[in-house]
Amino acid sequence: MDRTTLAGRETSRIGFGCGRLVGGAGTPASIRLIEQARAIGISHFDVAPSYGLGLAENVLGKVLAGDRDVTIATKIGIGRPTNPGMKALARQILRPLLTATPALRQKLASKAQRGAARNQYEQAQVESSFAESLRRLQRDRIDALLLHQPEAGDLTSTLRAVMDRLVAEGRAGAIGSSTAADRDSVIPLGSVHQYRWSPSPLPPCDTGVTSIAHGLLRRYPRPRANDTISMARMAEAGFDPKDPTAWPGLLLSLALATTPGGLVLISSSDPERLRASVTAIDWVAASGKRAGFVEGAIELLHRVQTKEPSAASLPPIDRTQYIHPSNSTMAVSSRDSEEA
Ligand SMILES: NC(=O)c1ccc[n+]([C@@H]2O[C@H](COP(=O)([O-])OP(=O)(O)OC[C@H]3O[C@@H](n4cnc5c(N)ncnc54)[C@H](OP(=O)(O)O)[C@@H]3O)[C@@H](O)[C@H]2O)c1
C-alpha cells in the first residue's frame, strides 16, 4: 500500500469511507469491516457525525481506541440524527427488505441525509459537534476536520476563526472542506479538500492542499460481460476482465493516478469485497508510472458510460495535462469533464 502525508502524519493512500458502518445489531459486521481495512494496510478513516445513522463514529472510536497508527477525518455541519439507537434498530428490522431492494435502500439513505440538520456552522454548533465527535471517537485530537458539504454563504470569518483555533489548540491536525460533488464545487478552506472523483482535467490543487477523492465505485458501474470492446480495453490496461475485482482495481488505480499525492476513499459493506478491491490495485499505474494507463482507462470509462458502439466512433481525445509531483506529466481526456 502506497503512503502519503495528511496533516503532517504518514498514512495510506487508500482510505476507508465509514458511510456504510452501522451500529446496533449491525455493530459486529461494522467491526469486521474496520478490522479488515486495518489488516490490508488501510490507515485512513473518513467519518462524520451523521454516518451510520449517527453511530459510525461510536463504532470507529471503539475499534480504533488503542490504535494510534491511523489518521481520521471527521466533519461538522450536518447534524447527527436524533435517537440514533432507535433508528439503528428500525434499520435492523428492515434489513432483509432493504437488502432485497437496493433502490429502496438508496432512497431511504438519501431521505435520511436530506432530513438531517444541515449548515450547522454557528460557533456553538461547531464547538459542540466537534467535542462530541472527539468523545465518540475516543480521541483528544483528529487529523482532519472538514466542513460537511457547506454552501457558499456558510464560510464566514467567524467560522474560519473557530476552525483555525481548533488547529492552534492542537485538537485538529488540519481543517478542510468536503463536497458530494466534483472538485470544482469545493468551498475552499484549509489544507484538505474532499470531493467526488471524476476524470475531469482540472489544474493541480494548490501546493499544500491534500486532495481526498471519493465515490468512484458508486459512480462507474462495471461494464457488461457482453461489451467485448470494453473487455478488450480492460485487458489492454492490464486487468483481467473476467475477474470481478478487476473493475474496482482499475478504477482505484486510475483515481490514485489522477489524484497525485492525495488519498482515495473506498467503501463497502463486505470485508472480502473490500480486500479484493484493494488487492486488485496496480500500484505502478496508481503512481502514474505506467505509460498510457491514464489515457486508456479514461477512454474506457467514457466508453462504458456512453455505451459508444465502437472505439472508432469516439471523438478525438482533447488532451490536457495532470501535473505529477515527480514533474512527469500524464495526458488525460477532457471530453469527460461534464458528466463522466
Ligand atoms: N461530503 C463528503 O465528504 C462525502 C460524500 C460522499 C462520500 N464520502 C465518503 O466517501 C466514502 C465512499 O463513498 P461511496 O460510498 O460513494 O463509495 P464508493 O467506494 O465509491 O462506492 C461504494 C459502492 O461500491 C460497491 N463496491 C465496493 N467494492 C466493490 C467491488 N469490489 N465490486 C463491486 N462493487 C463494490 C459497494 O457495494 P457493497 O457495499 O455491496 O460492497 C457500494 O455500493 C463514504 O463512505 C464517505 O466516507 C464523503
**Is 218 among the domain residues?**
yes
CB 87 within 8 A of CB 81: yes
For residues 280 and 237, the model is more confident at 280
Q: 293 in helix, strand or coil?
A: helix
The residues facing 331 across adjacent strands are: 321
**Is 318 among the domain residues?**
no
Q: 303 in helix, strand or coil?
A: helix
Neighbours of 89 (CB within 10 A): 15
CA-wise closest residue to 244 among 273, 205, 268, 202: 273
235 pLDDT band, cuts 50/70/90, is: confident
Q: From atom 36 of ligand 1, which residue's Cα is the shortest distance away?
A: 268
Kindly state if the Cβ of 149 falls inside 6 Å of ligand 1: yes
The rounded distance, in Å, linking the Cα atoms of 250 and 217 is 10
Helix 123-137 to helix 157-168 angle (10° resolution) is: 30
CB 177 within 8 A of CB 78: no
The residues facing 16 across adjacent strands are: 45, 266
Strands (E), 50-201: 71-76, 142-148, 172-178, 192-196
**Is 229 among the domain residues?**
no
**Is 45 among the domain residues?**
yes
CA-wise closest residue to 11 among 144, 201, 134, 139: 144
CB 119 within 8 A of CB 47: no
CB 112 within 8 A of CB 80: no
Residue 328 has pLDDT above 60, yes or no: no
CATH of the domain at 196: 3.20.20.100
pLDDT at 236: 81
Residue 77 has pLDDT above 60, yes or no: yes
**Is 320 among the domain residues?**
no
Give just the sign of the alpha carbon dihedral 95, 57, 198, 14: negative
- Cα→Cα distances 156→76, 170, 171, Å: 14, 22, 21
Angle (CA) 72 76 78, round 5°? 120
DSSP characters over 65-80: TT--S-EEEEEESSPP
The domain tally of the chain equals: 1
- The one-letter amino acid code at 96 reads P
**Is 292 among the domain residues?**
no
Give 31 Cα–ligand 1 centroid separation in angstroms.
Answer: 17
Domain interval for residue 188: 3-222+244-287
Give just the sign of the alpha carbon dihedral 22, 24, 26, 32: positive
pLDDT, one tens digit per residue, over 142-197 is 999 999 999 999 999 999 999 999 999 999 999 999 999 999 999 999 999 999 99
**Is 296 among the domain residues?**
no
pLDDT at 335: 26
Give 38 Cα–ligand 1 centroid separation in angstroms.
Answer: 17
pLDDT at 100: 54
Give 249 Cα–ligand 1 centroid separation in angstroms.
Answer: 14
Give 32 Cα–ligand 1 centroid separation in angstroms.
Answer: 17
- Cα→Cα distances 63→223, 281, 294, Å: 36, 26, 37
Residue 312 has pLDDT above 50, yes or no: no
pLDDT at 85: 59
Residue 98 has pLDDT above 80, yes or no: no
**Is 294 among the domain residues?**
no
Residue 135 has pLDDT above 70, yes or no: yes
Kindly state if the Cβ of 46 falls inside 6 Å of ligand 1: yes
The rounded distance, in Å, linking the Cα atoms of 252 and 14 is 9
**Over the chain, what is the mean pLDDT?**
83
199 pLDDT band, cuts 50/70/90, is: confident
